[in-house]
Amino acid sequence: MNQEKMNLSIDLPMAGFDSLALRRLSGLVAAHAGLSFERTPEDTLRFDLGERAPGEAMGGAAFISGLLETARNGQTALYCRTASPDPDAIARQRETLQRFAVAHSFGNTVCYEDDGCSALGRTRPAFSQMEEDIRGGKIQRVLAKSLTRLGRNSAEVVRWALWLRRHGAEVIILDPPVDINAALEVLENA
């Protein structure tokens, strides 16, 4: 039996969505062809599921529900890096970042470790995987022990942090404590 297809959309309340969650949701939605969403004047999120058979609506609703949960409660990435191989230094960075995440109730952590990878070089496999996960909307925030763990060039790190914000995530630097997010907000609103 051939069911006639129709345009399906789902409206859901925006409760629990701040600007970062909306950016993460944008990244997640962009990864799925044929799916789009908009914020309505009534403060709901309208998802357009495209052409579907009426029986597919429930599956689409469950899928959207999963995307919303991921966008609200994205993972916290713990990024550790050393320029020369040093498993003990990586372990110390990881422990410091994990303690910080627990102290600030950042659950759902995932660790990305580049042991023996210079920030000057472009071959940082864990960093590349983290960027892919950020593009996919999985990462809500990135924790790094220091700015130099992310890169040696401050301008490059700022460009990366802006890219991160466009993908719905933030970066937190522990030592010294740098509120790079506030600085980026000033730049974006200038």
CA distance linking residue 10 with residue 49, whole number of Å: 8
Q: What is the pLDDT of residue 112?
A: 97
Q: What is the pLDDT of residue 77?
A: 96
The radius of gyration computed from the CA coordinates of the chain, to the nearest angstrom, equals 19
CA distance linking residue 106 with residue 98, whole number of Å: 9
Residue found by looking up tokens 């599921």 in the block = 49
Pick one of 3.30.70, 3.30.1370, 3.40.630, 3.40.50 as the CATH number of 6-72.
Answer: 3.30.1370
pLDDT > 70? residue 100: yes
Mean pLDDT to the nearest integer, 152-161: 82
pLDDT digits (tens, 9 = 90+) for 4-35: 766 777 777 777 677 777 777 777 777 666 77
Do the Cβ atoms of 102 and 78 come closer than 8 Å? no
Q: Which residue has the higher pLDDT, 60 or 160?
A: 160
**% of the chain at pLDDT higher than 70:** 77
Residue 75 sits at φ, ψ, to 5 deg, of: -75, 155
The CB density around residue 139, as the number of other CB atoms within 10 Å, is 26
pLDDT digits (tens, 9 = 90+) for 62-87: 777 777 776 667 789 999 999 999 99
Of these ranges, 38-42, 93-97, 153-157, 165-169, the one predicted with the greatest mean pLDDT is: 93-97
CA distance linking residue 100 with residue 76, whole number of Å: 11
Second CATH level (architecture) for the domain 75-188: 3-Layer(aba) Sandwich (3.40)
Q: Which residues does residue 9 pair with via DSSP β-bridges, in sequence order?
A: 48
pLDDT digits (tens, 9 = 90+) for 168-180: 888 999 987 766 7
DSSP string covering 25-57:
HHHHHHTSTT-EEEE-TTSEEEEEEEEE-GGGH
Domain boundaries, the chain: 6-72, 75-188
- Lowest-confidence region among 40-54, 55-69, 99-113: 55-69
Q: From residue 38, how far is each of 6, 19, 107, 134 by CA, in Å?
A: 19, 13, 28, 21
pLDDT > 70? residue 187: no
